[in-house]
Structure formats: C-alpha cells, structure tokens
Structure 1
Amino acid sequence: MTNKITAIFQVLLYLTLVNNFLIIKSANAFFPKINEPNQKELNSTSIQIGRTAIQLIQLGQNSEAIKLLELAIKLNPSEIALWNSLAEAQIRSDQKYKALSSLNKAIKLKPKEENIYFKKASIYMDLNNPKKAKFYINEGLLINKNSERGYFQLGNAEIMLNNYKSALIAFKKSSKINSSFWQSINNEGLIQYELNNSKEAISKFKLALKISNDAEPMLALAIVLFSTDNKSIYTINLAKNALISNPKYVSKNYQSKQLWGKKLQNSAQLLFKAKEMKKVVKEAKEKIQ
C-alpha cells in the first residue's frame, strides 16, 4: 500500500513540475525538456489513483481516500466512478452534504444511472428526510422499474412516513422481482406485526430466515413468538443466537435505526427481561458500550 501511494505522489509531483516550471528556449539557457502528459495519460493516472483510494476506503482510511480522489478528479473530472467513490468516502466520513454534492456531479455526467439516485436517497434517509428520499427513489425507479433495491428503499421511506400500506406494496414488488431479497420480506414482517398481524409476521420472518441466517429476522421471529406465549427453548435460543451474532440489537436506538416499530421494540424488552435471557442481554450491552 505504501509503495502505491508513494508512486502516485511521484506522478503528482511530476505533474506539478510540468504546471509550474516555464521551459525557456534560449541559446544561453539549458533546461531539460519535459513532455507534458496528454489527456489519455492523465485519465489513466486518475484511474490508478482511484483504485488506490478504493483500497483505502476498504481499510477505513476515508480521509486519505478523499484526498486522493480529489486529486484524481482534478486530473479527470469527467470520470463518474471517481465522483461515486468520493461520495462513498464522504458518507463514511459523515460528510453527507458533501457527498450529495459529489453525487450531483455524477448525475450531470450520467443522468440515467439509477444507483446514483438511490445513493442520494440513502443519504436523505440518514438525514431523517424521507420525503426527499422518496423523491430520489422514484427518480431512480423511473430509470429502472425492475430494481428490487429501489422498491426496498421506497418501502423504508414509506415506513418512516408511517404509510404502512404503501410500504407493504413496495416490499412486495421488491421480493417479486427478487424472491431471494430477504430484507424486503423481513420488513414486510415488521409492518405486519405493527398492524397486529402476528401470524403473518411470523410467516415473513421464517421465510426471511430460510434465505439468510441474519440476526434481524432471527430476533424478530423470537420476539413475536414470545409475544404470542410461545416461550419454548426454540424461541429463547433464537433470541440468544441473534444477540450473540449482532449484540447491537439489544439497543432500542439501534432497533429504531432498523425501522422497528414501537410495538416490536416494546415486545423485545419483555423478551429481554425473561430470566433465561439475562446473561446474554447483559453480555450484549457490555459489548456495545
């Protein structure tokens, strides 16, 4: 990694020399001739810098990645991948408004790329602005009406707006497009439980759990089963394994971020108070402190 970064800065130093040194053609002056790189070479260099920046993002070195991407964009401002990567690094650095600006630049370069609109929507969701998020989701769905991710995001925005029926429609469209997209099936279960349809919620959580052994449908299923007086060893073990897998779910704040409704959150607290759950709940709380 160090060698790659060193090599990049050598290239950048070279370009700085080209831009800042005046080559004087004179019989009395001798300067070595420096060939200024053409746009193709600059573009190639920017791509290499971008690849290194992506590696830095993956390593969690987002500030360093941002610096590299800003330099790469100066070399090649028309490369959409660089703007997308810059936005990703900015999001991870909690620079959400700067990320929105970067994505706006990307949209100007490629206005028919639906994923840019979905990424903007995700930022607005994080900013607790579901109306704005819904606008950009629908913009993306106009480009690609068969995006399971788009309908999943739309369902989440509708949950935040308390439009449960509209959310169910969106999640059903998502899972119809991709029957393995367990997140949409899981979120159908979240809504059904808030609508007092425990039997349907259990069915959805079980289906989601068959597709993915994720902590969320595992814990949600345990909570709903427990709330319907199913306090079997199976139910308790489901809950224990879920909290061991992802202790963050012990937190009501984290549950809210996952769009759990008040009814499910309250039911979770009743399960966590069960004597069989005390040890694992205590350990989960300690892990997230």
Structure 2
Amino acid sequence: MPKRCWLLSVLACAGLWSAAAVPARAQALLPYALELDFEYLETQGLALARDAVQLLRLQQVDLALPRAELATQLAPDAFQTWFILGTLQAQRENPEAAIAALQRARALAPEEAGVSFTLGRAHFIAGDYRTAVEEIQTGLRLEPDSVEALFDLGNAYLKLGDYGAAIESFENAVDLDEAFWPAINNIGLVHYEQGDTEAAIDRWEAAVAIDDGSAEPLLAIAVAHFAQGRLEEGIAMGETALELDSRYGDLEFLAENLWGERLLDDTRAFFFSPPIRAVLTRLQVAPPTASPDE
C-alpha cells in the first residue's frame, strides 16, 4: 500500500479523519496533516521491531507482539517488521497469522533464508509437515549450513515417518556442530521407534555426555533400562531426570517433543510404577490415572 494511502487509513481507523463528516474548510487543511516524514516513521517502525526482538529474547512475547504489529504499520516496506511479526506469531503457536506475515516478508526479501526457515516452523506447528519440509529446504538452498534448520528438517521428516531422511538431517546438523545434543537426542528417538534400543541408548548417552543437565535424554535412558528389566537403574535415573525438569513427567509434553508411540508406551508403564508415581506426586506432577494395560 502507498505510504500516503496508509496514513489515510490510519487516520480513518482512528476516527481522526472522515471524508463524509469533515466540512469543506477542514478538508482544505488535510494536506498539511499529510506532510509527515515517512522516512522517520519507517525508522521508528524499525526501532519498534528491534524492541520486539529484545522482548522476544526475554520471552516477553505478549509485550513484543503489539510493538511488532505497530512496526509493520510504520514500516510496511521493510521485510524485517513482517519477519519479526511472523516469528512472534509462530512463537505463540498462531500458524495462520505467522504464515501470512512471513509470506509478506518473503515477498519483500525472497533471498532471506531465515524467512523460509521460519515459514517451515509455522507449517510444522500447523501440522503441515510436507510443506514444512519444502520451506526449510528452500531456505537451506540459500543457507546450507544452518544447524537449527537442519534440526527442524529432521523433526519434520520424523513426523512424516521418514526415519532415514530424519536421521540424515540430524546427522548433518551434528556434523556442523558436534555439541548440538538435541539432534543427537532425536537420532535416539528414531532408533527407539525402529526397535534398536541399544543404538538409541548410545545416542542418548552421547547427548548426556555433552550436557549432563539435559533431562530429556536422561529420562529416555531410564525408560529404556526399565523396559529392559533393569528396574532399579531405570528408576534411579528417572528420578534424577524428573528432578532436573519435572515437565518431562507429562506424557503430552513428551509427545510434543516428538517421543514416538513405542517410547511413550514404555514411558507410560514407567510412570505407572509405584516409585516413579511417588516421585511425580512429590514434584506435583499428575501421574497416569490408568494402567498402561487398560
């Protein structure tokens, strides 16, 4: 939209200007109201966008969002404002709004890989994993060495059940950053769903060796040991993992983190065991209400 028309729209929406209601003498003054410094407005819009980024880094999404929305009005021709707005909407898990904003960003800057990567995340949130793969691949053609994008690509393949492509993407991420334990962890998730428990444990142990404060791979090892009949070892490790981060005591949270059906079934049995139920109760996490056999 041309900047002059945009200003008229803002005035109309704010109730400050109406062609039908304003007398002729007032209409003669209207051009003076339009003599604004649009470069200044755009600068202010970009400043608001930077504020939104800072708030996003502080996880203050609710405060960042109105700033980002205003930024797109003040600087509608800057891809950065639409990109930030789309990122925030994705963060709030509003995929439709995120996709709409990010498509505006890409129309303004088609060579920005980050826009395609974030579009991929938005489509992933929407459950459209095939389009997520396509968008992330578009971004990787522009920026092939993005560890996070390769990780997201692996996750999309995992949701599609394409285990070979998922492992390849995760391994490519680790090749670029050998300390990126989430990709190593998710290789373990794939192996477990394939029935290769020992390979899964090996990957999860490698993830814990990189970050011994990571609850997810530690809990996964505990569940695997418990399923193998190594009950005491599994329970001890599980208690440690849940004390590190009690969110992992929620089966829905684990599913959101791409734990597959086989691992979730074994985790349900693990959580139903009396010692782990006691840990969950102590940590104020609701334990399973039904036996995994029911």
Q: 1:168 to 1:81 in 2, by over 3 A?
A: same
Q: Is the 8 A contact 1:117 1:139 kept in 2?
A: yes
Residue 285 of structure 1, CA deviation? 5.6
Is the CA contact (8 Å cut-off) linking 2:61 and 2:92 kept in structure 1? no
Aligned pair in 2 of structure 1 residues 166, 54: CA closer, same or farther (>3 Å)?
closer
**Alignment partner of 1:88 is 2:87:** yes
**Alignment check: 8 A CA contact 2:93 2:125 kept:** no
Letter in structure 1 aligned against 2:275: E
Q: 1:121, 1:136 within 8 Å by CA — same for their partners in 2? A: yes
Identity over aligned pairs, percent: 25
Aligned equivalent of 1:228: 228
- Tell whether the 8 Å contact from 1:141 to 1:150 is kept in structure 2 after alignment: yes
Distance 2:91 2:151 in 1: 22
- Cα offset, 1:186, TM superposition: 0.3
Unaligned runs of 5+ in 2: 1-9, 19-25, 288-294
| Offset from partner CA, 1:147-201 (integer Å, 9 cap, x none) | 2222211211111111112211111111111111111100000111111211111
1:133 aligns with 2:138: no
Query: Does 2:277 match 1:278?
Result: yes
Q: CA deviation at 1:230?
A: 2.3
Asked whether the equivalents of residues 250 and 285 of structure 1 are also in contact (C-alpha less than 8 Å), the reply is: no
| Number of matched pairs | 267
TM-score, structure 1 as length reference: 0.81
Partner of 2:239: 240
Taking a change above 3 Å as real, the CA distance of residues 148 and 68 of structure 1, as seen in their structure-2 partners, is closer
Superposed displacement of residue 137, structure 1: 1.2
SS in 2 for 1:111: coil
The alignment yields a C-alpha RMSD, in angstroms, of 3.0
Over residues 83-117 of structure 1, what are the superposed CA-to-partner deviations in whole Å (9 max), with x where a residue is unaligned?
Answer: 12211332344432111111011111221222211
* 1:19 CA displacement: 8.9
Look up the match of 1:108. Answer: 107
User: What SS does structure 1 have at the residue aligned with 2:161?
Assistant: coil
After superposition, the Cα gap between the structure-2 partners of 1:151 and 1:48, relative to the gap in structure 1 and judged at 3 Å, is closer
For the Cα contact (< 8 Å) 1:42–1:75, is it kept in 2?
Answer: yes
Deviations 1:211-265 (A, max 9, x none): 22211111111111222222334x3232112222332322222221111111111
**Aligned residue type for 2:142:** I
CA distance in 2, matches of 1:204, 1:260: 14
State the match for 2:219 in structure 1.
219
Question: Structure 2: how far apart are the matches of 1:191 and 1:35?
Answer: 60
Contact 2:72 2:81 (C-alpha < 8 Å) held by counterparts: yes
1:86 maps to a residue whose letter is: L
Distance 1:59 1:202 in 2: 33
- Which residue matches 1:75? 74
**Quick check: 1:248–1:284 contact (8 Å CA) kept in 2?**
no
* Structure 2 SS opposite 1:206: helix
Once the two structures are overlaid, the 10-residue window that deviates more, 242-251 or 113-122, is: 242-251
- Secondary structure of 1:180's counterpart equals coil
Aligned residues of 2:215 and 2:245 also touching (Cα < 8 A): yes
Q: 1:125 to 1:61 in 2, by over 3 A?
A: closer
